[in-house]
Structure 1
Amino acid sequence: MVWISRSLIWLCLAIFSCAQAQTAGKQQPLTTQGLTFNATLPNNPFNLVTLDEPTEIRIHVKNTGNSIRTIFGVSGVLTHPQDPKVITQNITSQRYSKEVRPGKEITLTYKAKLHREGEAGLTVFVDFYDKDEKAESGTRAVAYQGTVTISHNDSWFDLQSISIYLILTGLVGWAGYLGYQSFFGGPAKVGRPKRRPVEVAAPARQVNPGEPDMDWIPDHLRKAEEVRKSPKLKKRGTK
């Protein structure tokens, strides 16, 4: 019973930790010069990223200012998880030409390959300019800043493995609890209810050819006829 309780406690703690990681991955929208950015990793719950595979970063941009903004580039860096000033990888930039008018919104898709295994800080930049500026003198804004965990596809720390471990632990704990209840503390077994006997109809009397059907005659008349035809009465009658 003790190991079952420990398994259930571990399961609850693991679920709580995953929920905390998912909440930590959600950031507040960032605003720079009238542009509001809200970026997410839609295909990487809990910010678990596969090493050397494209990671999709979706950037939602809203223009809350009065000028037309043109987005011309998105890039990013990996940093030390405890010190964002220490860059460990420069992520390849992508070129865009997306115009965002005042009061309008657009969504950008940026795919990045991350080559540093382990926990790291991830920062994504968006470069833009307004109608009075040139691309060379544009503004760089931070669209996303968070922490990710990068691992191999077959790592024990990927989401699929964690889900399998949680499910198996829950099933083992539940099976152990049911077994304990069945052998030590389960309710008494209830016997099967007795089946009521099934009434079988009497087989129909066969009538020989030429023999009259006597079933329609009342019982008292039929008995009187049988007594009258009795051999003993015939003998008495002949004496």
Structure 2
Amino acid sequence: MRSSRSIFIYIAIALACIAPLFLGVSATGRRDDQPRVDSKTGLIFTHEFPANPFNVITAGESNEIRINIDNQGELTQTVFSVSGFLSHPTNQTTPKRNLTATAFKRAVKPNDKTTVVYKFDFETDPGEHGLVIYVDVTDEEGNSRRAVGYRGIVKVVESASMFDLQSISIYILLLAGAGGIAYYAYDSFLGSGSGKTGRRSVKRAASSTSTVSADASAPVGEPGKPDMDWIPAHLVEQQNASVKRQSSRLKNKANAKAK
């Protein structure tokens, strides 16, 4: 019993330790999570993939990226368009597939912040691709500029894909959690149930012992013969006399029939 419980514990601990290694593989060597600063406008860009924090996007489905804009410049900047393209992962200057532009009208004053949500979809082969997101702005003096809101590597998966690296790591974490729950249920119900069974057996054994002790303390007499010591003597004599009379009648009847 103890060995089986120990196996459950070791498996859960091992799965919990291995999962972070899978999660870390996709992030190794990437620096696309750093803020991007546009020196001419004073805008600082950070990003977030709300549906997947591991930069995994799905081909053929709607994906979105949130571009956070912090205006540290001296002029009000107005975002009027967001667009982008996919590229080769090692050459992010040449577009391989353009993304549809989305119009905005979002003013950001100096020392102010805002967030624009850019949704896009595309069809391409699964694998790693470069992704570049442009943010087109115009300042209060009428000057327009295209700034880079995001540039990095993303992993494209098919819509039916369930076994990419990040999904596997999530499945491992879920499996570890399920193992812990199973162990807790096993220990709570099966473990305590056997304990209760043992206690019931002890109680039954104790009850049997008490019964035997009580029987042993009773007066020893002939098997099947009741203890008559507690009955008054005159009642016993009357009962014996009645039995004798009945016996005499039965004998007389029997002799009469025999004649």
Residue 88 of structure 1 deviates from its aligned partner by 1.4
Greater Cα shift, 36-45 or 160-169: 160-169
Contact persistence 1:76–1:123 (CA under 8 A): yes
Distance 2:172 2:27 in 1: 18
Contact persistence 2:22–2:166 (CA under 8 A): no
Kindly provide the amino acid, as one letter, of the partner of residue 67 in structure 1: L
Regions of 4+ moved over 4 Å: 4-11, 22-26, 158-162, 168-172
Name the residue aligned to 2:158. Answer: 152
Name the residue aligned to 1:140. Answer: 146
Which of 120, 140, 156 in structure 2 is aligned with 1:131?
140
Distance 1:112 1:25 in 2: 23
Which of 1, 23, 32 in structure 2 is aligned with 1:18?
23
Distance 2:54 2:84 in 1: 20
> Over aligned residues, Cα RMSD in angstroms?
4.0
- What pairs up with 1:210-221 in 2 under 5 angstroms? none
Distance 1:68 1:168 in 2: 51
Name the residue aligned to 1:214. Answer: none
Name the residue aligned to 2:234. Answer: 231
Contact persistence 1:151–1:158 (CA under 8 A): no
Q: Aligned to 1:46, what secondary structure does the other structure show?
A: coil
Distance 2:25 2:166 in 1: 14
Query: Where does structure 1 lack aligned partners over 5 or more consecutive residues?
Result: 176-188, 201-222, 235-239
Give the structure with the larger helix fraction.
2
> CA offsets, 1:156-195, max 9 Å, x none?
21755552355447868x99xxxxxxxxxxxxx9993411
- What pairs up with 1:163-178 in 2 under 5 angstroms? 163-164=170-171, 167-168=174-175
Contact persistence 2:75–2:139 (CA under 8 A): yes
Name the residue aligned to 2:249. Answer: none
Q: Does 1:104 align with 2:77?
A: no
Name the residue aligned to 1:237. Answer: none
Name the residue aligned to 2:127. Answer: 118
What percent identity do the matched residue pairs reach? 29
Query: Where does structure 2 lack aligned partners over 5 or more consecutive residues?
Result: 1-7, 183-193, 212-228, 238-259
Greater Cα shift, 105-114 or 82-91: 82-91
> CA offsets, 1:118-164, max 9 Å, x none?
21011111011111124xxx111111112111111221217555523
TM-score under structure 2 length normalisation = 0.60
Contact persistence 1:78–1:91 (CA under 8 A): yes
Distance 1:85 1:11 in 2: 40
Name the residue aligned to 1:197. Answer: 207
TM-score under structure 1 length normalisation = 0.64
| Structure with larger Rg | 2
Distance 1:42 1:10 in 2: 26
Contact persistence 2:22–2:165 (CA under 8 A): no
Name the residue aligned to 1:69. Answer: 77
Q: Aligned to 2:34, what secondary structure does the other structure show?
A: coil
Distance 2:117 2:157 in 1: 22
Residue 22 of structure 1 deviates from its aligned partner by 5.4
Distance 1:80 1:11 in 2: 34
Contact persistence 1:45–1:159 (CA under 8 A): no
